[in-house]
Amino acid sequence: MEDFSKIAVIILGMLFLFYMPTLVISQKLDNSVQTYVDDCVQEFVNESRSTGYISTQNYLKMIEQLDNTEIIYNISITHSKRVVVPRYNDEGVFTGEYDVVYNDFFKDEIEAVLFYTETSESAYSVNNKYKMNNGDYLQVTIQNESDTFGTKILSFISSTGNGKKILTTYGGHVGNVAQ
C-alpha cells in the first residue's frame, strides 16, 4: 500500500509540474491578447477621431487585426452626434440659451454607410467614409465571445473557466474640442 501512495504522489506531482506552468503561460498569453486588442481599438478610435471620419479601410484593418487573435469578438461602436438645440420658454420665445444633446448612431448604421453599394451586384467601395463632426463622441467596445486559450486550459484542469473576458472600451471626442 505504501508503494501505491508513493506512485500516486509522484504522478500527482508530475501533473502539477506540467499544468501549473501551462496555466501561467496561458494566462500571460491572455494578457498579451488583451494588450493587443487594446492597442488595435485605440489606434482605430484615435485615427477616426483625428481625421473626423471612419474609413472602410481603417475599419477593415481593425477587424483584420482582431481576427489575427483567432478569437471571436462582439464589436460595439457608438457615434454620439453633438447637436445644439435652442431653448424656448413656455410661450415659444427663444430664451437666448442653447442645450447640447447627443444623438447616438450604432454599428449597423455606421456599417451601412461604410459598405454602401449603388447596386447589390457591385462590391462596396474601400473609399467610403462615415463622417463625424467636431465635438462628436466616438466609442468602441470589444468583448470576446469565444473562449481564450487561458480559459480553455483552466476549464480543462478544473472543469470550470475563470470567466476572464477580453474587454476593451475606448472612446473620445472627435476633432479639436477646444474650439
* DSSP SS3 for 94: strand
Total count of domains within the chain: 1
> Is position 178 within any domain?
no
Angle between helices 56-67 and 2-51 (to 10 degrees): 170
Q: For residue 133, which of 46, 42, 51 has the smallest C-alpha distance? A: 51
* DSSP SS3 for 53: strand
Which residues form the domain of 143? 2-173
Q: For residue 142, which of 85, 83, 59 has the smallest C-alpha distance? A: 59
DSSP state letter for 36: H
> Is position 16 within any domain?
yes
The tens-digit pLDDT sequence of the chain (179 residues) is: 678 888 888 888 887 787 778 778 888 888 899 999 999 999 999 999 999 999 999 999 999 999 999 899 999 999 999 999 999 998 888 888 999 999 999 999 999 888 876 655 555 566 789 999 999 999 999 999 888 877 777 777 666 655 668 899 999 999 865 54
> Is position 179 within any domain?
no
d(CA 98, CA 106): 26
